[in-house]
Amino acid sequence: MLAAAALLLLLLAAGPGRARRDALREELLLSPLPAGEVAATFQFRTRWDADLQRGAVSHYRLFPKALGRLVAALGVRELHLALTQGFWRTQAWGQPPLQAPAGAELWVWFQPTVTNVDKAWKELSNVLSGIFCASLNFIDSTNTVTPTASFKPLGLANGTDHHLLRYAVLPREVVCTENLTPWKKLLPCGSKAGLAVLLKAERLFHSSYHSQAVHIRPVCRDASCLAVSWELRQTLTVVFDTFSSGQGKKDWSLFKMFSRTLTDTCPLASQSKVYVDISPKNKEKELLEVTPTPASVHEAIVQGDKRTYAVYDLLSPSLFNTSRSLNVQLKWKRPQDSCYIHYQPAQDRRRPHLLEMLIQLPANSVTKITIQFERALLKWTEYPPDPNHGFYVSSSVLSALVPSISAMKNMDVEQSPLFTSLFPSSDGSSYFVRLYTEPLLVNLPTPDFSMPYNVICLTCTVVAVCYGSFYNLLTRTFHVEEPSRGGLAKRLANVIRKFRGVPPL
């Protein structure tokens, strides 16, 4: 008993000297986008105070062994791998937090000690294709480049010899559950606890944009930078279109997006936070309401803009006090632009399209509404006699309540003159007006109407000539005819012929 206790003490004493410190920080950023979507960016940072290049490291705790051995064996200084499905629409969504090209992107800086960089690159892409179940083994000299100006190292670097950099993109690469699963398995808590419980494939791939990335780089261990630590950053950005799937409301919650809520923290994480971007847009305050009430609010300048974030710290004990799960919800306090849309699609030859929208037009601005349509082919009997004139699309209607600068008096509509009765107002502050747009003349592709006639003529001719000839040949009968004796004129002619010595008729 005593011996066992002594042994334990000995092991504990020996422990801290050999163990290298590692830490996991997980963060989730939720940003509502201008067009109504929501972008969720996850970041899991594992930092390990070990030198993977020198010394045989055999005990891996938070840092995944597969990647650690890869870095050590192939002399990798920095590794950046991104798998993306979709495209970040900067015009509609604003600036992306982290963007990656569609497909698979891999760029790697090797250590100066690597002699044959191309061989190491090929081996690296093969190993990564096995780890992430992606066809990265298709990376070869035909799609690899060595950029000289872009893609400078993001971590510690002792000099940048560009021959040590390799960059390749596979645009045809598909991202699906089989790529997400090994990515999740690299996390210390997997997908069982912490922020990663939200990562369910069925919801993540039902999105407009999905990008997952792995970044490995060396960083300074502390301010003096005497030793090197390795940082593994796993990021995942996904954009959900809650507007079109949420019956036209821009409210969202964690449950609506991921069909899960946060229930537990990852016990291995030293920091676990959720940030919600509640920056006021268009200089209007108090538009967003976030539940539950955030513990603190953080302000920062991000990408040149001042932004406000609501912070939820999952590690603080008060968060899970009231309920076992955390479901962050965002509600819009005032009705937003186009909060009411009624759309009835057309049915061919039965009813037209109907689109009604309730819009709030901001002052001193131009609002453009565009609708795309396709021109269909009509049946040839449905064309009017002058089809080349085109077809008319009726005018759109704009009905508006326009605020009035001066207050109007409510008057009896029956007795009032023309100019007040035409623009009735229910209260003195605004008046009703209805405007119409120009009608649209659309040129539809017009067929050649003479073709049916041409076809009939041609077919009938062919039928008549071919069939008629055959019919003739098959049904014609031949019979011999007796020549007739001839009349008086013939007998006279024969007599003359006999005199001439010519055979008779």
Partner 1 sequence: VCTSRFWFNYRHVANTLSVYRKWLKCFCLIFHSHIVLMLADDMACNPRNPKPATVFSHKNMELNVYGDDVEVDYRSYEVTVENFLRVLTGRIPPSTPRSKRLLSDDRSNILIYMTGHGGNGFLKFQDSEEITNVELADAFEQMWQKRRYNELLFIIDTCQGASMYERFYSPNIMALASSQVGEDSLSHQPDLGIGVHLMDRYTFYVLEFLEEIHPASQTNMNDLFQVCPKSLCVSTPGHRTDLFQRDPQNVLITDFFGSVRKVEITTERISLDGDLAGFESK
Question: Which value, to the nearest 10 degrees, does the dihedral of the CA atoms of residues 128, 134, 139, 143 take?
Answer: -130
Q: Residue 24 or 187: which CB sits closer to partner 1?
A: 187
Q: How far is CA 247 from CA 39, 243, 327, 472, in A?
A: 19, 7, 20, 74
Residue 444 lies near partner 1 (rule: CB under 8 A)? no
Stretch that binds partner 1, among 126-134, 254-262, 296-304, 323-331 (CB under 8 A): 126-134
Would you tell me how many other CB atoms lie within 10 Å of the CB of residue 220? 13
| Of positions 20, 200, 221, 249, contacts partner 1 by CB under 8 A | 200
Stretch that binds partner 1, among 14-22, 173-181, 367-375, 423-431 (CB under 8 A): 173-181
Residue 241 lies near partner 1 (rule: CB under 8 A)? no
| Of positions 127, 213, 232, 328, contacts partner 1 by CB under 8 A | 127
Would you tell me how many other CB atoms lie within 10 Å of the CB of residue 479? 4
| 313 Cβ contact partners less than 8 Å away, ≥ 6 residues apart | 272, 273, 295, 296, 319
| Contacts with partner 1, 11-50, as mask; x by CB under 8 A | ----------------------------------------
Least CB distance to partner 1 at residue 58 (A):
12
Stretch that binds partner 1, among 42-50, 200-208, 281-289, 450-458 (CB under 8 A): 200-208
Q: How many whole angstroms separate alpha carbon 358 and alpha carbon 251?
A: 18
Contact criterion met (CB below 8 Å) for 147 and 165: yes
| Of positions 122, 260, 307, 331, contacts partner 1 by CB under 8 A | 122
Identify the DSSP state of 352. Answer: -
Query: Considering only CA atoms, which of 193, 204, 214, 221 is closest in space to residue 314?
Result: 193
Q: Judged by CB under 8 A, how many residues of this single chain contact partner 1?
A: 34
Residue 182 lies near partner 1 (rule: CB under 8 A)? yes
Q: Residue 172 or 490: which CB sits closer to partner 1?
A: 172
Q: How many whole angstroms separate alpha carbon 171 and alpha carbon 174?
A: 8
Q: How many whole angstroms separate alpha carbon 215 and alpha carbon 80?
A: 4
Least CB distance to partner 1 at residue 79 (A):
14
The label of the residue with tokens 């490995």 reads 216
Residue 185 lies near partner 1 (rule: CB under 8 A)? yes
| 279 Cβ contact partners less than 8 Å away, ≥ 6 residues apart | 305, 306, 307, 308, 309
Number of helices (H), then strands (E), in the chain: 12, 20
| Of positions 152, 163, 172, 281, contacts partner 1 by CB under 8 A | 172
Q: Residue 32 or 64: which CB sits closer to partner 1?
A: 64
Q: Residue 57 or 70: which CB sits closer to partner 1?
A: 70
Query: Considering only CA atoms, which of 362, 343, 190 is closest in space to residue 264?
Result: 190
| Of positions 114, 144, 205, 327, contacts partner 1 by CB under 8 A | 205
Q: Residue 62 or 127: which CB sits closer to partner 1?
A: 127
Would you tell me how many other CB atoms lie within 10 Å of the CB of residue 75? 17
| Of positions 178, 289, 305, 356, contacts partner 1 by CB under 8 A | 178
Q: How many whole angstroms separate alpha carbon 306 and alpha carbon 362?
A: 22
Query: Considering only CA atoms, which of 55, 89, 46 is closest in space to residue 217?
Result: 46
| 242 Cβ contact partners less than 8 Å away, ≥ 6 residues apart | 36, 37, 38, 250, 251, 252, 256, 257
Stretch that binds partner 1, among 14-22, 197-205, 340-348, 412-420 (CB under 8 A): 197-205
Identify whether 171 is preceded by a cis peptide bond (ω within 30 of 0). no
Least CB distance to partner 1 at residue 314 (A):
23
| Contacts with partner 1, 59-88, as mask; x by CB under 8 A | -----xxx--xx--x-----------x---
Residue 249 lies near partner 1 (rule: CB under 8 A)? no
Pairing of strands 269-277, 103-110: unpaired
| Of positions 123, 241, 264, 313, contacts partner 1 by CB under 8 A | 123
Residue 96 lies near partner 1 (rule: CB under 8 A)? no
Q: Residue 130 or 439: which CB sits closer to partner 1?
A: 130
Residue 204 lies near partner 1 (rule: CB under 8 A)? yes
Identify the DSSP state of 505. Answer: -
Least CB distance to partner 1 at residue 64 (A):
8
Question: Which value, to the nearest 10 degrees, does the dihedral of the CA atoms of residues 280, 284, 287, 288 take?
Answer: 0
| Of positions 95, 116, 126, 323, contacts partner 1 by CB under 8 A | 126
Residue 316 lies near partner 1 (rule: CB under 8 A)? no
Residue 383 lies near partner 1 (rule: CB under 8 A)? no
Stretch that binds partner 1, among 27-35, 38-46, 120-128, 292-300 (CB under 8 A): 120-128
Query: Considering only CA atoms, which of 255, 257, 246, 300 is closest in space to residue 278?
Result: 300
Residue 143 lies near partner 1 (rule: CB under 8 A)? no
Stretch that binds partner 1, among 46-54, 88-96, 168-176, 432-440 (CB under 8 A): 168-176
Q: How many whole angstroms separate alpha carbon 326 and alpha carbon 329?
A: 9
Structure tokens at 146: 């060595």
| Of positions 115, 202, 284, 481, contacts partner 1 by CB under 8 A | 202
DSSP secondary structure, 151-163, as one string: ---SS--S---GG
Chain positions contacting partner 1, by CB under 8 A = 64-66, 69-70, 73, 85, 122-123, 126-127, 129-131, 133, 135, 137-138, 172, 174-178, 181-182, 185-186, 200-202, 204-206
